[in-house]
Amino acid sequence: MITDKRSSEDETLPSQAKKAKLEPEKYVIRKAFVLVIINEKFEDENIQDRKGAKVDKENIKKFCEGADFHVNEFSALKLDDTSLGTDDLEADEIKKIFKVISKGDFSFYDAFMCFTSSHGTSDGIVGVDGDLVTFTSLINCLTKCASLKGKPKLFFAQNCRGTLKKDFGIELKTRARETDDKTMTDYVKDVHHTVTIPAEADVLTAYSSVDGYESYRDPIEGSWFISNLTSVLTEHVNDMQLTDMLAMVSEKVARLKHHKGWKQMPCYTSTLRRSVVFATTDGQSK
């Protein structure tokens, strides 16, 4: 992981908690359970510590507190093991958290959200012991959770996805053009009362960089991705849908530049079946 300054610009569940609500054309998130895993100090002296990672955690917590989302509140999931740590975790400890959470009760939550900040590869994140945990294994744990079926499972991953490629950007000449906003949607009416969905449905994973590329982090202000993600989420959580916000994050990060000329491009993959909007305590979704 390479760090660099930018050269451009607890509580328990409420007794009257609302059950998750799925509307015909969108997921509405009023209450979310948020898992935050931050790895800053690594056991292997050959692996560089991640100065600024704790700033990521503070930025995430600040957003979640404003949205009234539960951060690492394992006791609210009716779990037998609620003494789980979330900072500076070895690979096996990360795996344990997800195995335990997969048995949790998310009945009163509209979504599961996970923020990770660590070293990593294109396949997953690295524990402080240097071992890898794949995103696939973590997502598999959640897709097996009965109380999360049909609900959004949102991952936001801050880590390098490779070190061999460097993005120096390209020059872009813009011009005005007319656009055709017409879209076509096929509506399929299901006459059955029971609907079967794919096991891998309803998952979005937002990565800090494209596969094969590094991600950058400021030791004072935190990572480029998390700092811009939490800023956009905080400002637009009640007036934009999630993927539009992610596009805005990508635009902001794409404008940043490492002092050596390197650029960074976030991306995401999604199997969400509907748009995701938020309706937090500070406002109403539109």
In the block, tokens 């909007």 appear at 277
Pairing type for strands 216-218 and 2-3 reads parallel
- Residues with Cβ within 8 Å of 277's Cβ and at least 6 positions away in sequence, in order, are 26, 27, 28, 29, 240, 241, 242, 285, 286
211: nearest Cα among 114, 115, 120: 120
Burial of 212 (0-12, 13-18, 19+ CB in 10 A): middle
Start-to-end CA span in the chain (Å): 39
- Residues with Cβ within 8 Å of 207's Cβ and at least 6 positions away in sequence, in order, are 157, 161, 266, 267, 268, 269
Does residue 119 carry a catalytic annotation? Answer: yes
Does residue 64 carry a catalytic annotation? Answer: no
Burial of 93 (0-12, 13-18, 19+ CB in 10 A): middle
Backbone angles phi, psi at 145, to 5 degrees: -80, 115
Among residues 64, 70, 114, 119, the one annotated as catalytic is: 119
Among residues 64, 114, 141, 160, the one annotated as catalytic is: 160
Active site residue ranges: 119, 160
